[in-house]
Amino acid sequence: MSINQRQIGPFNLSAVVLGCMNLNHAYGVAPPEEEAGRLLNHALDLGVNMLDTAALYGFNKNEALLAKYVGHRRNEYTLASKCVLDVYDGERGLNGHPDAIAGTLDRALNRLNTDHIDLYYLHRLDKNVPIEESIGALVRAKEAGKISHIGLSEMSAATIRRAHGVHPIAMVQSEYSPCVHNPEIAVLDTCHELGIGFLAFSPTVRGFLADAVHDDDFVKGDIRAAMPRFVEPNLSHNLKAAERFNLLATDLNLPPAQLSIAWVLAQRPFIGALPGTRSIAHLEENVGAASVALSDETINEIAQIFSGDAIRGPRYSAAMQTHIDTEIFEDEELA
């Protein structure tokens, strides 16, 4: 089976790919390993042809999960993983020094049971290390045949240009959705100019535009509990916009998540959507968004729903924001 595909940077990708983080990490109790494995295989059966993991996800468990359950189908998908954020002495840490990157990569190759990763990202910017030095480590990894392409995650246009000056960047990923527009400040134009692909992670706003967030009673381990826009006093206000969005989705006979992902795909031809899910039914909905064409009227209605202060509260906690290099709006709230 195949789904609508796009040329995204150097890759011919399904317009919707799969972020694997929440199969081990970030949103509370992870599903049983066998269920996660079934979802990964079903994604490939549907025609999804990129799987996105990282050293940090599940504290190194996510890469091993992919190796165990879809390693035998390696020729069916582009494998993407990430470094800089990793587990150091049992704790989450950020280290963009070349030796740390090299170590993370070698451990990742071992966990993934492969000698080669197709797309390897700097997961976040280590502001204590010049981006040129971090990119240099990936250039050497490419020369050694360990990776094919270099990517950046949550980085500004200025950083992207500096990195691209060392070696062509294949892909940038950042949060982008109907109510998170930071890449529109400068990153999307920069990617277009330089021929870099763009993947929008959290295109349903961590479930907020998938009708999956109704209160802030999150289970232990859910990262949304530390994100100001997902907790009171902001959440009740923000849910009013989500309700309007849900009504629009109903009028269009679309699941809200599908409408949100279709909006992302409508913005630029070089953008792909990078949602994650633990549900096969939701996976099928997400993939179906690749076939949804939105009218200009619908896109304008979505803009109206999220205009002004429809969404209150920072995207990240103060601690998490220190690792984010993406541009911010003049009136944007920061923790």
Burial status of residue 271 (CB atoms within 10 A of its CB: 0-12, 13-18, 19 or more):
buried
Q: Quick check: 200 and 264 in contact, CB under 8 A? A: yes
**What is the spatial distance between Cα 87 and Cα 104, in angstroms, rounded to a whole number?**
9
Closest of 163, 157, 182, 175 to residue 122, by C-alpha: 163
Provide the residue type at 118 as one letter. Answer: D
Question: Is 57 considered catalytic here?
Answer: yes
Q: Across the chain, how many H-helices and E-strands are there?
A: 11, 12
Give Dmax (Cα) for the chain. Answer: 54
The CB density around residue 297, as the number of other CB atoms within 10 Å, is 8
**Inter-CA distances, 222 with 99, 113, 176, 217, 321, Å:** 31, 29, 20, 10, 17
- Which entry of 27, 57, 77, 316 is annotated as an active-site residue? 57
**What is the spatial distance between Cα 114 and Cα 1, in angstroms, rounded to a whole number?**
26
**What is the spatial distance between Cα 22 and Cα 29, in angstroms, rounded to a whole number?**
9
**What is the spatial distance between Cα 168 and Cα 173, in angstroms, rounded to a whole number?**
15
Active site residues: 57
